[in-house]
Amino acid sequence: MITIISLFYGILGLIIGSFLNVVIYRVPRGESIVSPGSHCLVCGHALSFWELIPVLSFIIQKGSCRKCGTSISCRYPAVEILTGGLFFYTVWLNQGVQDARVFWYLVFVAILIALAFIDLDTMTLPDGLVYPLLIIGLLGSFVLPGTPGWLESVLAAAAAGGAFWLITLVYPQGMGFGDVKFVAALGAFLGFPHIILAVFSASLAGSIIGLSMLLLHRRKIKQPIPFGPFLSFGALAVLFWGDQIIQFYCSRVFC
């Protein structure tokens, strides 16, 4: 039964991923995510229902617009598959957890995906997504059992955001204010010590990827790298495995 429920949410994730593609494209441009409906960005062809089926439509249409033949980026189905996979894993991993808390996690996952790809495209983290993430995190701490308590949530948000704010003062070229607000929102969701682990994981992943790109001459040393995707990665890693990582560390350090 749990597997069937997980599969259901995985399929739902594919659909949400299709919507996230709209969010990722339109929100940074200040466009409505509701109107107009989905359409080809080149010829304006309004997509019919069967052209909006996640992943399958891309395969059937061979990755191109049915009317003008313009190629469609493979990132569209990639976002759908990523969202579907993460939704499936989130539900599967949280068997027996209160439904409201699982839904809270799914909202968290969806916003993280959108912010990661927007930052990749534009080097910005829009307030229209970051502030709702912060508010949802704080609200969850007040009403959902098993989440960080409200005081812990507020303190984690303030401490994480404050630490990043100090970094922007010392080294403004290396950190944007969007990252400050984003990490504060993550603190509200994750609490202590999980936010510390999330930032450490993000920094480690960012260092590895950044160094690899430099060695492969894919990026210049002074060329900035968006940190939002790494923060999203760190937050997801902590959401899924944070307790196990902390327990493993404590068992080795304090044994």
CB-CB contact of 230 with 202 (8 Å): yes
The last residue of one of the domains, among 61, 96, 131, is 96
Which 3 state secondary structure label does DSSP give 30? coil
Separation between Cα atoms, residue 38 and residue 59, nearest integer Å = 18
At residue 243 the predicted structure's pLDDT band, cuts being 50, 70 and 90, is confident
The last residue of one of the domains, among 67, 96, 125, is 96
Are 86 and 50 in the same domain? yes
The residues, any chain, with a CB within 8 Å of residue 218's CB and separated by 6 or more, are none
At residue 131 the predicted structure's pLDDT band, cuts being 50, 70 and 90, is very high
The token pair at 232 is: 């999203």
Are 76 and 30 in the same domain? yes
The token pair at 127 is: 């307030």
Q: pLDDT > 70: what percent of the chain?
A: 94
Q: Which pLDDT belongs to residue 44?
A: 75
Are 92 and 199 in the same domain? no
The last residue of one of the domains, among 96, 112, 146, is 96
Looking at the structure of the chain, the number of domains it has is 2
Q: Which pLDDT belongs to residue 138?
A: 94
Are 148 and 51 in the same domain? no
Q: Which pLDDT belongs to residue 1?
A: 59
The token pair at 18 is: 């299709």
Q: Which pLDDT belongs to residue 254?
A: 58
Are 123 and 188 in the same domain? yes
Are 178 and 252 in the same domain? yes
Cα distances (Å, whole numbers) of residue 195 to 73, 82, 156, 200 = 34, 23, 7, 9
Are 147 and 241 in the same domain? yes
Are 6 and 77 in the same domain? yes
Domain limits at 55? 1-96
